[in-house]
Amino acid sequence: MPVNLVQTCASRELLKQVFQNTDAQSCPFTFNFHMHTVFSDGKLQPSSLMEQAIAIGLKGMAITDHHSISGYRAAQSWLEDWKWSNPSVEAPCLWSGVEINANLLNVEVHILAYAFEPEHPSLKPYTQRRITTGQEYQAVNVISAIHEAGGLAVLAHPARYRRSHFDLIPEAAQLGIDGVEAFYAYNNPNPWRPTALESQQVQKMAAQHGLFNSCGTDTHGLSLLTRL
């Protein structure tokens, strides 16, 4: 099913539609929902990231710096200026994004937040460029905070933790998570491509638990087409 990007860009409902149609071919040339800038542990300036995204032809994307929305803010500002200078060129949809460390089944996982209200007070503890502690560090509370801010919560790279994704995904679903990063390059191939076995397993579990599928390169280096 084609995704109608004529709808209001960066809306939660549009992102849900995109996730409902995400497959192994969605990344990295059409969508990319996992990228880092110099505002966390990436090497790209937000402006350089946006230039690459437009050159690649991305239709939708999110910058997901660790515990920071500064990269997203800078990219959003750059994109608005670019639109004024290029009114006849289709611009990508840029959703708000952040990657949050959390405790799930007594292991540390990463939860990606999307399409949230950036200034919502519920997310303030998670956008201060530091890992939270105590109750704020618990996955159930991270997911709740994302929802309170009007966003969607997605479990990042589910097959990359010390505990099996066969345990983590059902637990995350029980806590109300919206989706999983189903298509991920676990072996860091160049060029980027999702790892077949883990992606198939995660996608199957997403279907079993009624979760959305997401994808992203998890770029930390200088190219949006690789992870490192």
Amino acid at site 114 = Y
What's the whole-model pTM score? 0.96
Task: Give mean pLDDT, residues 6-35.
Answer: 92
The fraction of the chain above a pLDDT of 70, given in percent, is 97
Beta-bridge partners for 102: 109
Dist CA 155 CA 177 (whole Å): 7
How much is the pLDDT for 2?
53
Residues 163-195: pLDDT tens digits? 999 999 999 999 999 999 999 999 999 989 999
The residue to which tokens 């505990």 are assigned: 163
Specify whether the CB–CB gap between 126 and 98 falls below 8 A: yes
CB 187 within 8 A of CB 181: no
pLDDT of 6 reads 42
Q: Give 93-149 pLDDT, tens digit per residue.
A: 999 999 999 999 999 999 999 999 999 999 999 999 999 999 999 999 999 999 999
Q: β-pairing, 60-62 with 93-95?
A: parallel
Rg of the Cα atoms in the chain: 16
pLDDT at residue 9, rounded to an integer: 86
Query: What distance in Å separates the CA atoms of residue 5 and residue 27, rounded to the nearest whole number?
Result: 16
Share of the chain above pLDDT 90, in %: 93
In angstroms, the CA 213 to CA 199 distance is: 10
Mean of all residue pLDDT scores within the chain = 96
Fill in the DSSP letter of residue 95: E
Task: Spell out the domains of the chain, with CATH numbers in brackets.
Answer: 12-215 (3.20.20.140)
- Asked whether the bond before 28 is cis by omega within 30 degrees of 0, the reply is yes
Q: How many CB atoms lie within 10 A of CB 89?
A: 9
CA distance 100 to 20: 23
Q: Are 56 and 224 in contact (CB under 8 A)?
A: yes
Q: Which residues of 67-85 are buried (b: 16+ CB within 10 A; e: fewer)?
A: bbbbbbebbbebbeeeeee
Indicate whether 5 pLDDT > 70. no
Token pair recorded at residue 210: 């009624």
Task: Please report which confidence band the pLDDT of residue 3 belongs to, taking 50, 70 and 90 as the band edges.
Answer: low
Q: Which residue has the tokens 């071919």?
A: 25
What mean pLDDT do residues 30-54 have?
A: 98
